[in-house]
C-alpha cells in the first residue's frame, strides 16, 4: 500500500495512468482469438512474456493489457523526478474463479493503492484510468452486444473483514484460450474451441448519437469493431457502428 500520498500527487499519478490507459485503449485491441492462436502454434514452447505480446500485437488479452500498461506506466513514472519513487507501486491484480473442472475464468488489472483510495487501469472494460475512494462504486464503459443489448460492468472499492477489496463483475474467459468442447457437426463429434472474440476501439471527433462513447479531451472513444468467431456454428459475426461511422461521408470508401 502507498501511504500518506498527497491529493496533488495522486492527481498526477491519475493523469499519468490515464495517458497510458487511453494509449492502449486505442492501439492495443482486446482479443481472445489471437491469444488462442498463439498458444495453438506454440503448444510446447516456453518464451519470455514480452515475446507473446510482441507476436500478437496489437491484439492482446486482459493479461497482455495489464502487462503492457504496467510496463509503460513504470517507464512514464521513471522519467518524472517527482513520481519516480512510485514506479514500484504499480501493481498487477487478478481474480481467478473456476468455471468448471477444466477451465479457469480470470481478469487482470493494474492498480495503485493508497490509504483510502485507489487508481485502477482496466482497459478491457474501460478506456480511461479510474480513481475510487473506499466505499465508492464506479459504472464502467457501456458496450453493445451483438443482439443490441447494452451491458455495463461495475467496480466497487470496499472493505470487508478488515481487508480492502476491488469487487467487479466480469464475464470474459481469458485463459486458457484453447479449451476443447465436444460439439456435434454433421452428425460427428469434433473437439472445438469455445467462441472467441476481438474488440477494437477508436477515437472520433463527433459525439456518437446511436452508440455508447467515452469523452476524452474533446473527442470520443467508441467500440469501432467487434468480431465474434463461433467454431461450433462455423460463423463469424462482425459489428460495426452504422449511423455513427460507416454511414458518415468520410468513411464512404468502406461501404461503396
Look-up of cell digits 463527433: 206
Question: To which H or E segment does residue 53 belong?
Answer: helix 49-56
Output the CA–CA distances (angstroms, integers) from residue 237 to 151, 200, 225, in the order listed.
18, 14, 10
Using the Cα atoms of residue 170, residue 172, residue 174 and residue 176 in order, give the sign of their dihedral. positive
Question: What would the mean pLDDT of 87-102 be, rounded to a whole number?
Answer: 74
Inside any domain, residue 151: yes
Share of the chain above pLDDT 70, in %: 82
Say if CB 248 and CB 202 are below 8 A apart: no
> Which pLDDT band, with edges at 50, 70 and 90, does 190 fall under?
very low
Give residue 47's pLDDT.
59
Out of 122-126, 166-170, 241-245, give the one with best mean pLDDT: 122-126
DSSP string, 60-109: E-HHHHHHHHHHHHHHHHHT-TTTGGGGGG-EEEEEEEESSSS-EEEEEE
Is 122 part of a structural domain of the chain? Answer: yes
Confidence category of residue 138, pLDDT binned at 50, 70, 90: very high
For the chain, helix (H) and strand (E) counts, in that order, are: 4, 15
Would residue 1 count as lying in a domain? no
Based on the structure, what is the number of domains in the chain?
Answer: 1
The answer to whether residue 2 sits within a structural domain is no
The cell for 126 is 474501460
48-57 pLDDT tens trace: 666 788 888 8
Assess if residue 141 is contained within a domain.
yes
Given a cut of 70, whether residue 182 has pLDDT beyond it is no
Question: Cα(192)–Cα(185) distance, rounded to whole angstroms?
Answer: 10
Domain that holds residue 215: 7-254
**Tens of pLDDT along 199-243?**
999 999 989 988 889 999 999 999 989 999 888 888 898 888 888
pTM of the model: 0.81
Amino acid at each position: 500500500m502507498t501511504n500518506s500520498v498527497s491529493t496533488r500527487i495522486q492527481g498526477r499519478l491519475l493523469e499519468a495512468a490515464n495517458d497510458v490507459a487511453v494509449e492502449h485503449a486505442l492501439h492495443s485491441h482486446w482479443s481472445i482469438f489471437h491469444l488462442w492462436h498463439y498458444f495453438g502454434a506454440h503448444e510446447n514452447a516456453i518464451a519470455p512474456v514480452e515475446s507473446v505480446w510482441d507476436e500478437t500485437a496489437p491484439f492482446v488479452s486482459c493479461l497482455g493489457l495489464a502487462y503492457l500498461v504496467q510496463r509503460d506506466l513504470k517507464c512514464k513514472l521513471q522519467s518524472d523526478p517527482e513520481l519516480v519513487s512510485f514506479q514500484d507501486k504499480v501493481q498487477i491484480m487478478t481474480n481467478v474463479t473456476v468455471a468448471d473442472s477444466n477451465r479457469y475464468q480470470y481478469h487482470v488489472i493494474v492498480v495503485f493503492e493508497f490509504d483510502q483510495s485507489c487508481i485502477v487501469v482496466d482497459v478491457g472494460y474501460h478506456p480511461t484510468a479510474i480513481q475510487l475512494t473506499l466505499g465508492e462504486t464506479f459504472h464502467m464503459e457501456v458496450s453493445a452486444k451483438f443482439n443490441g443489448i447494452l451491458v455495463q460492468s461495475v467496480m466497487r472499492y470496499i472493505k470487508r473483514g478488515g481487508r480492502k477489496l476491488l469487487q467487479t463483475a466480469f464475464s470474459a474467459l481469458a485463459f486458457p484460450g484453447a479449451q476443447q468442447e465436444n460439439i456435434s457437426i454433421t452428425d460427428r463429434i469434433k473437439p472445438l474451441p469455445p467462441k472467441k472474440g476481438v474488440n477494437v476501439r477508436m477515437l472520433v471527433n463527433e459525439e456518437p448519437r446511436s452508440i455508447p462513447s467515452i469523452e476524452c479531451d474533446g473527442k470520443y472513444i467508441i467500440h469501432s469493431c467487434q468480431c465474434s468467431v463461433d467454431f461450433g456454428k462455423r460463423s463469424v459475426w462482425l459489428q460495426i457502428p452504422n449511423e455513427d461511422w460507416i454511414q458518415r461521408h468520410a468513411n464512404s470508401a468502406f461501404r461503396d
